[in-house]
Amino acid sequence: MSSPEPHRAIDAIWRIESAKIIAALTRRVRDVGLAEEFAQDALVSALESWPRDGVPDNPGAWLMASARNRAIDYFRHRAMHDEKEGSLTYEIETQLRDAQPDVDAAIDDPVGDDLLRLIFIACHPVLSTEARLALTLRLLGGLTTDEIARAFLASEPTIAQRIVRAKRTLSEANVPFEVPRGMELAVRLASVLEVIYLIFNEGYSATSGDDWMRPSLCDEALRLGRILAQLAPREPEVHGLVALMEIQASRARARVGPKGAAVLLLDQNRALWDQLLIRRGLAALELAEKLGGSHGPYALQGAIAACHARARTAGETDWHRIASLYGTLAGITRSPVVELNRAVAVGMAEGPAHGLALVDALVEGGALEGYHLLHSVRGDLLAKLGRSPEARAEFERSASLTRNAREREVMLARAADTIAQQRT
């Protein structure tokens, strides 16, 4: 039986190199689906030969050469069945063969234009949000279909179909392999940032399942964000998003108790916060602000996270500034969820009665009906005002609405606490 060591090495190399290989091939074969197939063929070849022959000195170049040869074979075979494709096949074969020096250089370079183009393709608005998430993790994260399915608690066939449909949609829509310009760049960049942040959020606060966090998704989102920051260094919102994710990720160890229980922000042991990630986040935030992006949605959220990161204890948190930042963010996004977060900050800064008035306005508006966090926030404010029976009902309502087991445990525990407080 072969040792698992070569396969672990191949897996690690694939995670690093696959996006660059797919990006380089997509530019030449003009189809992201085909490019991924050729890259996967190269991976299969590596799995067959590397355990026997050893990992080559330049594994990225080896994989690229293998994928390129698969592409040449494919177009030669297709040309034999369709003479009208002959000129196109010859052109692509020539590009693939003659581009070897450039391809090797691109493989050695961790960033490049091809990779940036691939990010914009995977996150194209022509795809549904679910499809963008799956395709991004597949093409840019190097995750298998099974890994993506487990991360989002979906079946493997569902994720596989989602990815296949996404690649077909991109092909049928003739989405060009290019970085958009002008106004289209802003629209497409917003889609890219949204996808990366959705991946991070699912890792940071899982929407369903038994785990409070899914750290691997946070790691993938951070990696993609850092790559994007290198590829688009003059875009302030990219740095704003990176700042937000770095600072949020710094709390990961403190957010989960010894047995996997959720630990809320104000109860966390701040000594467990990762100071390196905080410093990286603050530096990214400073860069976003220098580039004129201090009022971008992600930069504002990064600034809010920074307020928590700078506070040595929960009691030192500058809630007045956080409430002000949420007010600015609410004016930009018009999001009821942001308004809910502002209500929390106002409740901390000005007292629970002020926060409750804002929450009750959201309840009357109906935009967050069925949103479990609306009820948990309202329950917290009611508890602080001594209205224990009402608070208990809100926590129980929140517990009934969440799909995450750990979050449900927290809400039920808080409901029980309000009963105990009422009796004392």
Could you tell me if 143 and 286 lie in one domain? yes
Reported as type and span, the H/E element at residue 333 is helix 319-333
Q: Are residues 243 and 158 in the same domain?
A: yes
C-alpha distances in Å from residue 226, one per residue of 36, 134, 179, 196, 239: 23, 19, 18, 11, 8
Residue pair 133/152 in contact by the 8 Å Cβ criterion: yes
Does the pLDDT of residue 91 top 80, yes or no? no
Residue % of the chain over a pLDDT of 90: 62
- Do 26 and 19 meet the contact criterion of CB atoms below 8 Å apart? no
Over residues 9-34, the pLDDT tens digits come to 888 888 888 888 999 999 888 889 99
- Pair of tokens at residue 281: 């986040």
Give pLDDT tens digits for 354-394.
999 999 999 999 999 999 999 999 999 999 999 999 999 99
Question: How confident is the model over 216-249, as pLDDT tens digits?
Answer: 889 999 999 999 999 889 999 999 999 999 999 9
**How many percent of the chain have pLDDT more than 70?**
90
In a shared domain, residues 133 and 116: yes
Residue 222 included in any domain? yes
**Domain identity same for 129 and 278:** yes
Q: What are phi and psi of 262, to 5 degrees?
A: -75, 140
Residues 47 and 159 in one domain: no
pLDDT at 29: 87
The pLDDT of residue 105: 44
Q: Can you give the residue range of the structural domain that contains 61? A: 1-109
Query: Quick check: 84 pLDDT over 70?
Result: no
Distance CA 392, CA 378 (A): 10
Q: Under a CB-based contact definition with an 8 Å cutoff, are residues 216 and 203 in contact?
A: yes
200 shares a domain with 75: no
Q: Are residues 136 and 219 in the same domain?
A: yes
Across 93-110, average pLDDT: 46
CA distance 345 to 322: 6
Residue 62 burial by Cβ neighbours in a 10 Å radius (0-12, 13-18, 19+) = buried
Tokens (6 digits) for 346: 């106002």
Same domain membership, residue 126 and residue 97 = no
Read off the pLDDT of each residue in 99-104 and give the average, rounded to a whole number.
44
Q: How far apart are CA 69 and CA 111, in angstroms?
A: 23
Going by pLDDT thresholds of 50, 70 and 90, the confidence category of residue 263 is very high
Mean of the pLDDT values across residues 408-413?
A: 94
Residue 335 near residue 317, CB atoms below 8 Å? no
Q: How far apart are CA 192 and CA 198, in angstroms?
A: 10
Task: Supply the DSSP symbol for 252.
Answer: G
Kindly state whether residues 115 and 23 are assigned to the same domain: no
C-alpha span between 218 and 209 (Å, rounded): 16
> Is residue 59 in a domain?
yes
Co-location of 98 and 127 in the same domain: no
Residue the block writes with tokens 């400073």? 286
